[in-house]
Amino acid sequence: MTILDDIIATKYEEIKMYKPVGVNAIDFPQKTTLLEHLQKRNGVISEIKRASPSKGDIKVEIDIVAQAKKYEKAGAAAISVLTDELYFKGSIDDLCEVAKVVSIPVLCKDFMVSEIQVDRAQHAGATIILLIVAALEKQQLKRLNDYALSKGLEVLVEVHDEQELQVALELDAKLVGINNRDLKTFDVSIERTAQLAKSFPFDGGRVLISESGMHTKEDAQFAYANGASGILVGEALMRSENPGNWIRQATSEEAVR
Ligand SMILES: O=P(O)(O)OC[C@@H](O)[C@@H](O)c1c[nH]c2ccccc12
């Protein structure tokens, strides 16, 4: 059993206990779309990540609304919010709080196995969901992808190796994330992006997003230089004294050249 198997197993238990989503729709500010942003210019998908199984507590007590506002003000392309409670100390309420105050896309970062989670994410204000190829059967992946798209959500399809990339391409995913972290062993290497980018077809409006393990402006530069239009950054922004600066530096002319 890997940690990923454990997490997925808890998801099936969790979804049985979800309270039905209320009938009152919340009035969220209108949001832009991530694909359009990344087709035009590079960007940082900035994450709210209180803790993680590989790093333990990162910043559990944090004003996430203030943090999200900093991300938006600095020009983040989107905000990712970890909603898993057990392993990441996040919550669907975290996502909802963020979605209420920003006009950039909001990604529900969780391990989706069921349409119930997709609905719940959208109800809480998410405009993007994550689907992890390594965590899903092919049919299940296709079903959830079709379902989310039919609901008007954007879908980020996450891969970690060549085979998974092919699965994402078969789905015709437009937002493809290469996770530099192996979710089974936690090994991280940003070289993974460079490797997989070699077989990435940069056509059809598809964009490549490099996820995890980026700490410096040079890391961002490396990802962009290897074909990424977007980078997904969690820990570095959560630990930074000045996350706005981090984002601005990683999106400056110099960094994206
Ligand atoms: O904190 P980092 O190393 O910057 O990583 C952010 C993000 O990529 C990572 O949180 C992530 C990528 N894919 C995931 C899937 C599930 C949970 C978490 C993730």
Q: Give pLDDT tens digits for 34-77.
A: 999 999 999 999 999 999 999 999 999 999 999 999 999 999 99
Whether pLDDT at 257 is above 80? no
DSSP 7-44: HHHHHHHHHHHPPPPPS----PPP---HHHHHHHS-EE
Q: How would you classify the pairing of strands 106-109 and 78-82? A: parallel
Residues 194-207, mean pLDDT to the nearest whole number: 97
Say whether 157 sits in a helix, a strand or coil. Answer: strand
Fold of 3-16+30-256: TIM Barrel (3.20.20)
Phi/psi at 18 (5° precision)? -60, 135
Kind and range of the H or E run holding 211: strand 207-211
pLDDT at 253: 66
Locate the ligand 1 atom nearest the alpha carbon of residue 213 and give its number.
Answer: 3
Answer whether 49 contacts ligand 1 (Cβ < 6 A).
yes
Residues 162-174, mean pLDDT to the nearest whole number: 98
Answer whether 230 contacts ligand 1 (Cβ < 6 A).
no
Find the 23 Cα to ligand 1 centroid distance in Å: 32
Q: What is the pLDDT of residues 20-30, one digit of tens each?
A: 766 677 889 99
Residues 113-139, mean pLDDT to the nearest whole number: 97
Answer whether 213 contacts ligand 1 (Cβ < 6 A).
yes
Answer whether 158 contacts ligand 1 (Cβ < 6 A).
yes
Find the 206 Cα to ligand 1 centroid distance in Å: 21
Answer whether 234 contacts ligand 1 (Cβ < 6 A).
yes
pTM, to two decimals: 0.97
pLDDT at 25: 76
Q: Which residues are annotated as catalytic?
A: 47, 49, 109, 158, 179, 211-212
Q: Tokens representing 150?
A: 């039919």
Find the 211 Cα to ligand 1 centroid distance in Å: 6
